Amino acid sequence: MFRTLTNMRRLWRMARALAQHDALVPHEYASRVPMPVRFMARRIGRAKRDVRMLPPGVRLAQSFEEMGPSAIKLGQLLATRADILGPEIALGLETLQDRLPPFPEAEARTIVASDLGRPLDAAFSQFGAPVAAASIAQVHEAYTTDVPPRHVAVKILRPNIIDDFARDFDAFRFAAKLAEGVSGEARRLRLRALVETLAASVALELDLRMEGAAACELAENMRTEPAFLVPLPDWSRTSARVLTTEWIEGVPLRDAANLAASGHDPKPLAVIILQSFLVQALRDGFFHADLHPGNLFVDAEGRIHAVDFGIMGRLDFPMRRFLAETLGGFLARDYRKVAQVHFDAGFVPPVHNVETFAQALRAVGEPIFGLRARDMSMARLLEQLFDTTRRFDMQLQPQLILLQKTMVIVEGVARALDPEFDIWESSRPVIEQWMLDHLGPEARLREAAEGFSSLGKLAQNFPQLLHDTELIAGQLADGGLRLHPESVRAIAISQLRRTRHARVALWIAAGALGVIAISGF
């Protein structure tokens, strides 16, 4: 009972902040709201006239900023959900600023000494004032006590932030549960799952050791991508509330004038950012989900350095396949294939007709291909795609939330660097390479080899069959059966236009090759 009252009190304060910014029942939409609700909203609070002149999405963003860190994080997530709030309000939420005044330097020094278990001057020979402050943490420039000293960035959690988030998210869960209990639309949108996704993401941000681990994992994944670099943590100076990493010497990507003065060509930078993101998402299933210009720096050699790994996204293999085949299908303008991908993944209930869904997808895709490159937006395509799937009862897929948010940010960064940026042509090599690696003939043969190996392990009473199966599996895995590289590429790219029946035929061919190979022994 006490917990319920506490949640209701916190929600009341949030409702008051919304009302005072004319964001609880915006006047533009008041006529659609029942009179008792409008009356209650007026009793909670009234907005000043100058506030009411702002766009509704901007007013909502300002109310979230006033409510504090938890609401800011919620607003950032809702900015990706035009299906919940509508495109106008979602666009306004993109103005949300995740910046707060820094907390005192003396308090930061106390936290560092306490968490590292030693005096601050035993870890750092110099420790400066904060250079950046956001809703969760702030960053200080420092030098270590090593010989020679190393230039580092020290990130420190805000005092009491963990307890504040715990209380706020308890209230968010309470509100989502109430909403799903009375609204079918809230259940379809899976508001509780939305809150839990955000809570899980923030929980990782609140343990800076997890951010350090994320930086290490991303650096390892991207070691073959020399144009995208990740600063590594100093684990001897890192704890749950303190993260020390290499200091990045470079020009902030948001500083266009300085970029130009330094002689950097913005066009290749746009390609690096987009392709690096797609490599992370598709190839590795682990991507930086906060790639805004303030987190990206360009060094003297034109390489991109990313910082701030508190928000990371993961995609399992089925979701990566869904994404690649969806984008590949749109690239090939094969809307029947895209529709079938949705049905095969179980995202669209079978009560709907595949052909009708393909027709709806065509209405999304065709207008895009008549536009100039600068006007073709992948982020807008995903937004319209998800809006269309809503009409076909597709439930929200939590794994796609951060992906969609990051795609919006990445595309915006790329367009700012190069207004003529062709996002589709820049994306094509990464998507096609993924299709080649995972859906091409050699990938099918590798899967067949794994299948033969598994069958061999079960055939304990057939030693010779086991020997033959393991032998052929080993040869396949070692590249014993190969096609000409150009043939492989042509077949893999053709996967963009293949029907499910053609893929079945390819499996049959792979199986036949395996049988022929075994019989050869």
For residue range 10-56, what is the model confidence (pLDDT) as tens digits? Answer: 888 888 888 888 887 787 777 776 777 677 777 787 777 778 888 88
Question: Are 500 and 369 found together in one domain?
Answer: no
Considering the domain architecture, whether residues 413 and 445 belong to the same structural domain is answered as: no
Q: Burial letters for 236-263: b for 16+ Cβ neighbours within 10 Å, e otherwise?
A: ebbbebbbbbbbbebbebeeeeebeeee
Residue 412 lies in a domain: yes
**411 domain residue, yes or no:** yes
Helices (H), 45-160: 49-52, 56-67, 69-78, 82-85, 87-93, 105-116, 120-123
- Domain end, chosen from 66, 98, 130, is at 98
Task: Report angle CA 342, 91, 177 to the nearest 5 degrees.
Answer: 65
**Closest among 481, 449, 472 to 518, alpha carbons compared:** 472
End residue of a domain, out of 421, 456, 472: 421
The runs of H, that is alpha helices, within 222-373 are 256-261, 266-278, 317-331, 335-344, 354-369
Residue 112 in any domain: the answer is no
- Residue 129's pLDDT band, with cuts at 50, 70 and 90, is very high
Domain membership flag for residue 123: no
User: Is 228 inside any structural domain?
Assistant: no
Tokens of 76: 């950032």
383, 268: one domain: yes
Domain residue limits at 40? 2-98
| Per-residue pLDDT reduced to its tens digit, 296-350 | 999 999 999 999 998 888 899 888 888 888 888 887 889 999 899 989 888 888 8
Lowest pLDDT segment from 85-89, 120-124, 493-497: 493-497
- CA separation for the pair 19, 384 (Å, rounded): 30
Cα–Cα distance for residue pair 494/266, rounded to 1 Å: 33
The DSSP bridge partners found for residue 144 are 124
| Active-site entry in 290, 308, 334, 418 | 290
- Is there a single domain that holds both residue 474 and residue 392? no
Residue 51 amino acid letter = V
* Domain identity same for 258 and 398: yes
Same-domain pairing of 445 and 316? no
Pair 469, 389 in one domain: no
Residue 124 resides in a domain: no
pTM strictly above 0.75:
no
Q: Are residues 294 and 413 in the same domain?
A: yes
Q: What is the mean pLDDT of the chain?
A: 79
In a domain, 120, yes or no: no
State the total domains in the chain: 3
Is the domain of 385 the same as that of 303? yes
* Residue 290 designated active-site: yes
pLDDT score for 296: 94
Is 382 inside a domain boundary?
A: yes
Of 98, 116, 133, the one marking the end of a domain is 98
What CA–CA distance (Å, rounded) separates 176 from 178? 5
Residue 380 sits in the same domain as residue 265? yes
For residues 358 and 454, membership in a common domain is answered with no
Kindly state whether residues 18 and 89 are assigned to the same domain. Answer: yes
Phi, psi of 310 (to 5 degrees): -75, -30
* The pLDDT of residue 469 is above 70: no
Q: How confident is the model at residue 212 (pLDDT cuts 50, 70, 90)?
A: very high
- What pLDDT is stored for residue 470 in this prediction? 57
Q: pLDDT band at 405, cuts 50/70/90? A: confident
Q: Are strands 228-229 and 304-306 parallel, antiparallel or unpaired?
A: parallel
